[in-house]
Amino acid sequence: MSKPTPAQSVKLIFSVLATEVELLNNTISVLSAAYGQPDFISAQTAFKYTDYYCPEMGENLIRRFMSMEKLIRPEGLPDIKLATNEIENKSARDNRRRVNIDPGYISQAHLILATGKGYTHRPYLREGIYADLTLIYQDKKFSSLPWTYPDYADEKQLLILGKIRSKYLLQLKMTELS
């Protein structure tokens, strides 16, 4: 029989997409106010992996990744997704989003994103939120899965996420020492 134990704390991350630099940076400020000091914010990059968001948000999307200094409990991810949905709604105009926020977390074993869309590889969590197993960590690197979004499978993103994971592992080690 297995003995239930609490999950380890995890590293909260966000992907933020927008068409305007000011809106992108304002959203990062809002997330920082809500979830604490970021310990990583990526450079701004063009988002050219899909046109999925274009009908709603427009062309020329830009993205930044960020990770938060404070570790979180993984079971809190649905609350964070619901809160980021509200942030998206507040910035909307004419019922169209102007910003897209994908919250998730990095653990030792994987990257999980929160989504409101169920699918075969997305177990239901609660309150309309599902966990998307986006990447797994094996052979000393993050690896994509057949369903991984192309932007998360990109080598540049995998390197960024690997660096965030390294920072997370150091935080876990420091927690154990204290």
pLDDT digits (tens, 9 = 90+) for 10-65: 999 999 999 999 999 999 999 999 999 999 999 999 888 777 777 788 888 999 99
CA end-to-end distance (rounded Å), the chain: 32
Q: Is the residue at 5 inside a domain? A: no
In order of 87, 138, 174, the CA distances from 170 in angstroms are 31, 18, 6
| Bridge partners for 139 per DSSP | none
Is residue 4 one of the residues assigned to a domain? no
Partners of 106 in the β-ladder: 11, 111
- The pLDDT of residue 53: 75
Region 140-164: what's the mean pLDDT? 94
Q: Which residues pair with 114 in a beta bridge?
A: 131
Does position 178 have pLDDT exceeding 70, yes or no? no
For 67-125, the pLDDT digits (tens) are: 999 999 999 999 999 999 999 999 999 989 999 999 999 999 999 999 999 999 999 99
Please, are residues 57 and 98 in contact by the beta-carbon 8 Å criterion?
A: yes
Q: Are 132 and 114 in contact (CB under 8 A)?
A: yes
Question: From the CB of residue 175, how many other CB atoms can be counted at a distance below 10 Å?
Answer: 11
Task: Examine residue 114 and state whether it is found in any structural domain, yes or no.
Answer: yes
- Residue 16 located in a structural domain: yes
- State the Cα–Cα distance between residues 59 and 51, nearest whole angstrom: 8
Domains: count for the chain: 1
**The pLDDT value given to residue 144:** 96
pLDDT score of 11: 98
Residue 3 lies inside a defined structural domain of this protein: no
Q: Say which DSSP state 95 is in.
A: T
Predicted pLDDT of residue 165: 98
Tens digit of each residue's pLDDT (9 = 90 or more) over 131-151: 999 999 999 999 999 999 999
Domain residues for 39?
Answer: 10-177
Which pLDDT score is estimated for 54?
76
